[in-house]
Structure 1
Amino acid sequence: MKNLYKNILYVLALGITFASCENYLDDVPKGSKTPTTLADFEAFIRDEYGNQVVNVEQAISLMNDRFQTAANLAYYRLTNANYMWDENADRIDLNQADETTYYRTYAGISTFNLIIENALTTTEAKEADKRILWAQAKMLRAMSYFTLTNFYADTYTTANASKLSVPLITSADINAPSKQVTIKEMYDFILKDVNEAIPYLPKVSQTALHPNLGAGYAFYSRVYLQMNNYTEALKYADMALAENNKLFDWVAYYNANKTVIDLPNSYTTTPSPMGYNYVENYTFRHGSSYSLGRELSIPVERAQRFEAGDLKYKSRWKIRTVGADTYYYSTMSGMYNFGGITTVEVYLIKAECLARENKISEALTILNTIRKTRILPASYADISTTDKTTALNAIFNTKRNELILTLIPFADARRLNAEGTYPFSLSKVVGGVTYNLSSTSHMWTMPFPQGATQNPGNGTITQNVAK
């Protein structure tokens, strides 16, 4: 899925942005084609390594979901502060680099703005096809803003609603003004984009990179869950699952590949089933390790939090020691849908919503349905309880494991910590010293990079954290 057309990148304003269509068409690079047809603009969505990457590196480091070598921690001071939960570190001062999360996400937003501005007036296309591309760009823009606001701003609550979120830009013009809107205003904007897109999303899209109707409903469910609106989250989870309710059989995958997977001291890879054709996909987007061909390694302490007999985990990582570092190394190669949306996330949203309504039995039926496709039969037993807290914690733990290396465990932890009823904290021992990340730590909100605050373009940016 190579991009068919290359944009000019302008490293200005809020980072990397595309020039406005008007200015861009006035100055086309030699050998490049002026975008006028729907196919020209549709090609931007196929630019998967530019516009379809959801990099949340610092979030997965804070969660300790990614293993960091001693060398990395010594060199990357911001990563060290997050990974070691150093609450005294001035992360604003340390975040001097052009952070990928910020700049690449805004570059994608500018591309989606370009499509939204031009798709309905393009040539050589039917009106219905124009509307589909316009709607898909709206979906991808909304998903991108969800990432930014759940990274650089406090999580959504009634108390936090009037706090500042991230800059909102709705034009691809290089001189477009920006406004750092409130958290409520950003969520209203995200919901509006999805609401306008859904009537035109196809049930089946042309590639996994193009959001379909199921993706629209699934993302709606994700957003409403983050807003603690369990009624709407459940409603759209059901609608998404009506479009796609498939679960991948990891027990069958393990059985087909166990000769390689179980070979001692061997790191020969097996093919990733989590690529473009993964049956659980609603829409595919790359994550932080998109260019490696392997998943990121995970710490030993993190590996211990997977359920006994979890074959999805066992099929993906194996313990390895290199020098002074011991960690779980990826034994799978290929592509991974770490930035899109899958059915397992929606099933677990539904399970949480049901449990919160005290429909414990129904919630656990969903949870156990997922687990049966993951857990070694000899290790499997239904989770059974009538206690709401026990059921919810089982759902939360499964979701953290299922969606490891994505934004969602970080976003969920922030949501639960803000709620206060089911707080999430972390603890580890390194070199005989105990380190803790409390549920109330300021570190759950990431600082804007200095390049953004010092060069805010046609707007202003206020830091959302003190350090």
Structure 2
Amino acid sequence: MKKNSILLIMILACISLGSCDDYLNIVPKGKKVPSTLADFEAFLRDEYTIGQTPIYNALYLLNDQYVWKSSLNNMTLTRANYLWDESADRITLNKADEGTYYLLYAAISSCNLILENVPTATEATDAQRREIMAYAKVIRSLCYFVLVNYYADTYEAATAATTPGVPLITSSIINAPSRQVTVQELYDFIIQNIKEAIEQGLPQQSMTVIHPNLGAGYALLARIYLQMANYPEALRYAGLALAQKDELYDWNDYYNRYSDIIEDPEKFDKLPTPTDYAYVENYYFRHGNGSPNYATAEITIPVERAERFEEGDARFLSRWKRRTVNQDTYYTGIGSGYFNWGGLTTCEMYLIKAECLARQAGNNDFSKAMDALNAVRRTRIRPDVYQPLQATTEAAAIELIRRTKDNELIFTIVPFADARRFNAEGTYARTMTKTVDGKTYTLTPDSHLWTMPFPAGATQNPGNGTITQNVPK
């Protein structure tokens, strides 16, 4: 968190508590206590504090991110997840992987600060205040969605009311009381907040792409209802999001533009990623594992993961190339820039729509579901390879949709959340297997590894509340 942000939060916390000594309320020279709407809106632009969504260990568990062989020699949290080691005590190992927890709760704290203080902010109309509060509610809801799908067992309607979730914090005051709510309580909270944001006037055109617009509100609700297996509502909100914005980026055009570099196996030039702030598919841009302070490179993926992309996928071909360095063979990223690995896009909505239509198809007519899927594929698959996909069963349709979705949304929380949802449902659960150096590894759908342990810093210093681990190890 940036020093200025920390200072402002501390000042506001003291003001809110009303118990700080007078000298603490004296504003340091060169600083200011935020009071205007513009002062509070600035918190939404501090992307280092409010805009990161690191989910490294979910990527390691899925084997979506390559881990160097030298990094697998010692027992670490990364190794335990990457090699699906159920005997590892991940609770003990989780003494350093705190980014997911603390960065997301830092963002939540900023949103809480905005929601507490914007109603009395100066130099603003009521409509302007409502808009800023709507942004904060959507961002806070997205952060909680990631947290509950990372540190708690996945949502199941029959057990969500008794399944332990994550701490719910609605105050920015230092040492404010918190409670580890159930998964159902958390989902109810985030759905209510998004709907309130929409009612408060979440704008069709937001201030910037890092301010979630109305389409983002609908898109987040579609994602949440899909995770709850409420397919009618997920379909409805995906449709509302696409009514706001439905553009898809033409990856074939991108491939043609940079084909001389892409097609040369010896060239590993860093190409400018189109998935940045200006990406036409964005509803809301949010950093994932990349830093907002400087451009980053595309994440490296394992050979086995690369093989799961569809033949002729221009998006894949434009992003990775096979490479061997010493003992490691992998697909290295050839893209560079800022990546929307934590936000919301039109592509996700097409694929949510496709799955929901497949699950609700009458008379085994999956044409509408395949139409939604093929709308995405037409902008991805090379013209000499592309053929529209068809399905005659729900299982076949789901398999095709899931393949595209896992590939399209790689490095986001979505493939991890989807895998947990499919595992809980049972019908389309998968057992994952791989062979490394002659040894076979397996990850079953009911493995405890699908829920990440809270970091030691959180459980040992829970503040004014308690945190109980949701996994045995």
TM-score range, shorter chain: over 0.9
1:260 matched to which residue of 2?
261
1:222 aligns with 2:223: yes
**Cross-structure match for 1:393:** 399
Amino acid corresponding to residue 333 of structure 1 in structure 2:
S
The alpha-carbon deviation at position 75 of structure 1 amounts to 5.5
Give the Å deviation of 1:26. 2.5
Q: Which residue of 2 aligns with 1:173?
A: 173
Q: Amino acid of the residue matched to residue 59 of structure 1?
A: A
Cα drift, residue 4 of structure 1: 11
Change (3 A) 1:35 1:231: same
Q: TM-score w.r.t. structure 2 length?
A: 0.94
- Please say if residues 60 and 78 of structure 2, whose CA atoms lie closer than 8 Å, have aligned partners that are also in contact: yes
Identity of aligned residues (%): 54
Q: What pairs up with 1:277-356 in 2 under 5 angstroms? A: 277-290=278-291, 293-356=296-359
> How far 1:30 moved relative to its partner?
3.8
| Contact 1:85–1:437, Cα closer than 8 Å, also in 2 | yes
Contact 2:55 2:289 in 1 (8 A): yes
C-alpha distance in structure 2 between counterparts of 1:389 and 1:464, whole Å: 32
Q: CA RMSD in A?
A: 2.0
Unaligned ranges ≥5, structure 2? none
Does the C-alpha gap of structure 1 residues 170 and 97 become closer, same or farther in structure 2, counting only changes over 3 Å?
same
Question: Aligned equivalents of 2:59 and 2:406: distance in 1?
Answer: 11
Q: Does 1:189 align with 2:189?
A: yes
What is residue 139 of structure 2 aligned with on the other side?
Answer: 140
| Preserved CA contact (<8 Å) 1:289 1:296 | no
Contact 1:3/1:46, CA 8 A, preserved across alignment: no
Q: Would you say how many aligned residue pairs link Structure 1 and Structure 2? A: 461
Cα distance in 1 for partners of 2:347, 2:108 equals 27
Q: Are 1:213 and 2:214 an aligned pair?
A: yes
Q: Is the 8 A contact 2:431 2:445 kept in 1?
A: yes
Select 1:381's aligned residue among 378, 381, 387. Answer: 387
Aligned partners of 1:84 and 1:272: how far apart in 2? 30
CA distance in 1 between partners of 2:280 and 2:156 (Å): 34
TM-score where L is the length of structure 1: 0.95
Find the aligned partners of 1:83 and 1:18 in 2 and give their Cα distance.
42
AA aligned opposite 1:278? Y
- 2:129 counterpart residue number: 130
- In structure 2, the CA distance between the partners of 1:377 and 1:432, relative to structure 1 (3 Å rule), is same
Moved more, 401-410 or 18-27: 18-27
Distance in structure 2 (CA, Å) of the matches to 1:283 and 1:447: 28
What SS does the aligned partner of 1:381 have?
coil
Letter in 1 for 2:376: I
SS state at 2:434 partner: strand
1:414 Cα deviation from its structure 2 partner: 0.2
After TM superposition, the runs of 4+ consecutive aligned structure 1 residues lying more than 6 A away are none
**Gapped regions of structure 1 (runs ≥ 5):** 12-16
Relative to structure 1, the CA distance from residue 48 to residue 121 in structure 2 (aligned partners, 3 Å threshold; closer, same or farther) is same
- Name 2:41's counterpart in structure 1: 42
> Is the 1:286–1:336 Cα contact (8 Å) retained in structure 2?
yes
SS at match of 1:50: helix
Cα 1:74–1:343, aligned 2, differ >3 Å: closer, same or farther?
Answer: same
Change (3 A) 1:315 1:36: same
Three-state SS of the structure 2 residue aligned to 1:416 is helix
Residue identity in the other structure for 1:316: R
Q: 1:292 offset after TM fit, Å? A: 5.4
Q: Say which SS state the counterpart of residue 275 (structure 1) adopts.
A: coil
User: SS at 1:180's partner residue?
Assistant: strand
1:232, CA displacement in angstroms? 0.5
Cα-to-partner distance string for 1:266-313 (whole Å, 9 max, x where unaligned): 111211110011010000000013355211100011000000000001
Aligned to 2:439: 433
